[in-house]
Amino acid sequence: MTAICEQENIQKNQVVLHSDNGSPMKGATLLATLQELGIIPSFSRPSVSNDNPYSESAFRTLKYRPNYPESPFDGLLSARCWVAEFIAWYNKEHLHSAIKFVTPEQRHNGEDIKILKARHEVYQRAKKNNPIRWSGETRNWQPVGEVYLNPDKPKLVEQINRAA
């Protein structure tokens, strides 16, 4: 966690880490590290499978991939290889509708701004060249602002920031 925060330049009280109620995530050592780093822990409610909609969405995407295995993996290594390939595809190739059809990697690296600006310009030229095809405004290609796990989390972060 410390290395990730340094690598990604994460500031105190900037991140909420949501997880299930597993013992590794609730262990005293990890919780102390999170507190030291200023990362706010968040846990799913017991027996509620959809408290982390982003993870649930990723799992649904995984299960409906055309290359999802129809039979069990040959072993742990083959399972890990398949998941690694899925994660690479998901982050580097899959266009996400919630972030205006860019990849998570493009969004993370700030490349989405240039991509979305170019898309906006293409749409504006198309509308100018053939206005009869457009009954209203073109698609909104403005970059998506902050994306939150739960709408209530920003309020929690704001409260913690005010208290700090």
Residue-level pLDDT at 147: 73
Residues of the chain with pLDDT under 50: none
Please tell me the distance from the alpha carbon of residue 91 to that of residue 104, in angstroms, as a whole number: 5
Query: Is the distance from CB of 49 to CB of 56 less than 8 angstroms?
Result: yes
Average pLDDT of the chain is: 87
Residue-level pLDDT at 84: 94
Residue-level pLDDT at 114: 98
Q: Euclidean distance between the first and final Cα of the chain, in Å?
A: 21
Could you report the per-residue pLDDT of 54-99, keeping only the tens digit for each? 777 788 889 999 999 999 999 999 999 999 999 999 999 999 888 9
Distances (CA, A) of 6 to 12, 25, 40, 49, 115: 11, 20, 16, 31, 28
Per-domain boundaries in the chain: 95-148
